A = this chain, B = another copy of it.
């Protein structure tokens, strides 16, 4: 599995960063449905954080359907596929996007520049996974 780097000084909680990193891993196909994730304890040790912090990230991911916490196999990327884009999620994303886009507009970005930026990030995410298909 690819190295996950956390910013322990960041304002955003570690468990949120971890959650996001794992989601990025899935988006970039470095992690695929059915793939195992480390146990809370070993992962915590590897990352240099507390067990509970990893657990909190796992609980979030489980709640949203990204992973399964299995009684036998441990933790795996949800083999039944990812959660879908429901109305609830869409509303959420819109609400998250609003301030970001607003600020960009204020700062003078036009629609084209914004679109280009989004596209760049989009491709950056996909590119993250093309180097190692094996993990």
Which A residues are closer than 8 A to B by beta carbons? Answer: 8-10, 13-14, 20, 23-24, 26-28, 49-50, 66, 68-73, 82-85, 89-90, 93-94, 96-109, 111, 114-115, 117-122, 124-126
Cα separation A103 to B70 with both chains bound (whole Å) = 22
Cα separation A36 to B49 with both chains bound (whole Å) = 19
User: Do residues B117 and A115 form an inter-chain contact, with CB atoms below 8 A?
Assistant: no
State whether A107 and B89 are in contact (beta carbons under 8 Å apart), knowing that A27-B102, A69-B9, A71-B14 are contacts in the complex: yes
Tally of this chain's copies: 4
> Whole-angstrom distance from the CB of A39 to the nearest CB of chain B?
16
> Whole-angstrom distance from the CB of A72 to the nearest CB of chain B?
6
User: Do residues B98 and A104 form an inter-chain contact, with CB atoms below 8 A?
Assistant: no
Other A-B pairs, 9, CB within 8 Å; known A13-B71, A23-B106: A9-B69, A9-B71, A24-B99, A85-B104, A85-B107, A85-B108, A101-B118, A105-B126, A111-B122
